Amino acid sequence: MAWYSTGSIQMEKQEKLKIGNALIIPLLFVATIGFIHFVSYALDVSFVRFGVLPRQFSGLIGILCSPLIHANFGHLFNNSVPLLILGSALFYFYKEIALKVSVWIYLMVGIWTWVSAREAYHIGASGFLYGLFSFLLVSGFIRRNKQLIALSFVVIFIYGSLVWGIFPVDLTVSFEGHFWGFVAGVILAIYYRNQGPQKIEFEWEEEEEDENETDLPWSDEQEIQQGFRYEFKPKNNKN
């Protein structure tokens, strides 16, 4: 017969609640892009014209709409799974700043793609995905939090190959969106480094530092111990 203390049961409930809360926004986003693509498929209507069209006034709407539009079900699936995983990781480990980081990545990718990318329709959520990837990758190392560093290594292990997507290897893919997403994530990891979870300082570490400070300068008698793809569509393909 198993026995659980009241405290352990309460902690388990809190952990489940935390996981559930972390899943809400990523699930809603993935459900939204899935619904939009299903409508496009069912009605045989292309929403490509709502993508980012760089340096064209009509293309500004793509800053908000392009991450919601996908070329086909393969494109949708390739973005949805990592979006759900990385998005949930962001809201679980960085819940205090997750929403702000998400909004800024979303907008920065769209704006920078509109300003600098090739003149063609750019659609898909992979630019946003690259922002989540680079934020989680860099933030753990900047904060020097062991748990977050471990998360960074997990991100590298699972999605490290995404890095190649920021280079113009396949010209049918919007590498510009990937690149700017990656840059946005790095910038935000640095900008928000003092917000959210920080390096855990143990009491014995602080006491040791205090002792070292009081002992200096030391004499000879004193001994100191040191111890996803982002789709690229030609401009004339508007239907």
pLDDT tens track for 174-200: 899 999 999 999 999 999 999 877 766
Q: How far is it, in rounded angstroms, from Cα 161 to Cα 143?
A: 24
Q: List the chain domain ranges.
A: 10-200+228-233
Question: CATH assignment of 10-200+228-233, given 1.20.1540, 1.10.246, 1.20.1070, 1.10.3470?
Answer: 1.20.1540
**C-alpha to C-alpha distance for 152 and 114, rounded to whole angstroms:** 30
Token code pair at residue 235: 């401009």
Cα separation of 182 and 109, whole Å?
9
231 — pLDDT class (breaks 50, 70, 90): low
pLDDT at 17 over 60: yes
Exposed/middle/buried for residue 12 (C-beta within 10 Å: 0-12, 13-18, 19+): exposed
The residue with greater pLDDT, 69 or 226, is: 69
Which pLDDT score, from 0 to 100, does residue 230 have? 54
pLDDT at 9: 74
pLDDT value, residue 173 = 86
pLDDT above 70 as % of the chain: 79
SS3 of 92-149: the string is HHCCCCHHHHHHHHHHHHHHHHHHHCCCCEEECCHHHHHHHHHHHHHHHHHHCCHHHH
Query: Is residue 214 scored above 70 in pLDDT?
Result: no
Phi, psi of 24 (to 5 degrees): -60, -60
In this prediction, residues 191-217 reach a mean pLDDT of 63
User: What does the pLDDT look like over 152-182, one tens digit per residue?
Assistant: 888 888 888 888 888 888 878 889 999 999 9
Rounded Cα–Cα distance for residues 166 and 209 (Å): 43
Are the C-beta atoms of 73 and 35 separated by less than 8 Å?
Answer: no
Summarize pLDDT for 74-120 with one digit per residue, the tens. 999 999 999 999 999 999 999 999 999 999 999 999 999 999 999 99
